[in-house]
């Protein structure tokens, strides 16, 4: 009897393991420079997205392994199968949708400007003729790059743009609202300017052909929203 039970146990573990598409580990790409979504705290990557993906892992029965890399390296890493999914406060925009599959949205965001306290810049129009910082490849970069009269200064990380604002090499910096609020809180003398533009939706990216994984992620997201975990994470990080 004991033997049979043992065999059954091993069999059930095998069945469970084969349910997951990639085996037991879900490799997750992120860029931990986007507080409060993903950032380093005492050498550990934490944040809203990180806890969200941990919860997803629990529901779909996979171990989550976070791979930290540059933001512009995330989608190439996904295509090259170095990671299975990407969660990085990434906006599900039309350009990216051509190359990857996006989950249902999990957060609504907006682009804003960070400027020096005394600045009188109040709209996108007023950026014409000005030096404006944007992180290379972020949706903010794509947005202001469409306006020819703006001198876009592309930086590789937000920290560089904050420095640029402080020493007046830049007159404004375009980025997502939540990290902008974080920078404004932690850097005296900077303020946020809201823009009259459309909202953006953050979503988890998968490779285009991974329909099954996408379905699992979507139903896990639904569960997380229904069981109160989502609200808990929102109030923890925002
Ligand atoms: N939401 C922006 C984008 O998708 C910025 C994301 C980020 O910096 N992590 O480009």
- Based on the fold, state whether residues 151 and 171 are members of the same structural domain: yes
Mean pLDDT of 197-211: 96
- Based on the fold, state whether residues 135 and 212 are members of the same structural domain: no
Q: Which residues of 26-58 are buried (b: 16+ CB within 10 A; e: fewer)?
A: bbbbbbbbbbbbbbeeeeebbbbbbbbbebbbe
When divided into structural domains, the chain yields a total of 2
- Out of 86, 106, 139, give the residue to mutate to test ligand 1, the one with the largest number of ligand atoms within 8 Å of its CB: 139
Task: Kindly state the tokens that stand for 197.
Answer: 């533009």
- Ligand 1 centre from 116 Cα, in Å? 22
- Out of 30, 71, 135, give the residue to mutate to test ligand 1, the one with the largest number of ligand atoms within 8 Å of its CB: 71
Query: Tens of pLDDT along 95-107?
Result: 999 999 999 999 9
pLDDT of res. 6 = 60
Give the domain extent around 165: 111-194
The mean predicted confidence, pLDDT, of the chain is: 92
The CATH number for 70's domain is 3.40.190.10
Higher pLDDT, 3 or 39: 39
- Based on the fold, state whether residues 102 and 214 are members of the same structural domain: yes
- Based on the fold, state whether residues 100 and 120 are members of the same structural domain: no
Task: Kindly state the tokens that stand for 27.
Answer: 């490799």
Residue nearest to atom 5 of ligand 1 (CA): 138
Residue nearest to atom 10 of ligand 1 (CA): 138
d(CA 181, CA 131): 21
Ligand 1: atom nearest CA of 141 is 10
């Amino acid at each position: 009897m004991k033997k049979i039970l043992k065999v059954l146990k091993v069999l059930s573990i095998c069945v469970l393991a084969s349910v997951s598409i990639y085996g037991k580990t879900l490799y997750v790409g992120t860029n931990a420079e986007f507080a409060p979504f993903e950032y380093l705290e005492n050498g550990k990557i934490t944040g809203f997205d990180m806890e969200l993906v941990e919860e997803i892992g629990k529901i779909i029965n996979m171990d989550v392994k976070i791979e930290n890399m540059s933001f512009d390296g995330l989608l190439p890493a996904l295509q090259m199968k170095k990671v299975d999914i990407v969660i990085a406060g990434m906006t599900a925009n039309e350009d990216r949708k051509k190359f990857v599959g996006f989950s249902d949205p999990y957060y609504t965001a907006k682009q804003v400007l960070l400027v020096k306290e005394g600045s009188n810049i109040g709209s996108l129009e007023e950026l014409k003729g000005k030096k404006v910082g944007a992180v290379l490849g972020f949706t903010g970069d794509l947005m202001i790059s469409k306006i020819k009269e703006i001198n876009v200064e592309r930086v590789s990380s937000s920290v560089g743009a904050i420095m640029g604002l402080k020493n007046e090499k830049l007159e404004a910096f375009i980025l997502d609202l939540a990290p902008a609020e974080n920078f404004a809180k932690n850097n005296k003398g900077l303020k946020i300017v809201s823009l009259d533009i459309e909202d953006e939706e953050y979503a988890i990216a998968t490779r285009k052909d991974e329909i099954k994984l996408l379905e699992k992620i979507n139903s896990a997201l639904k569960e997380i929203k229904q069981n109160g975990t989502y609200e808990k994470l929102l109030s923890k990080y925002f």
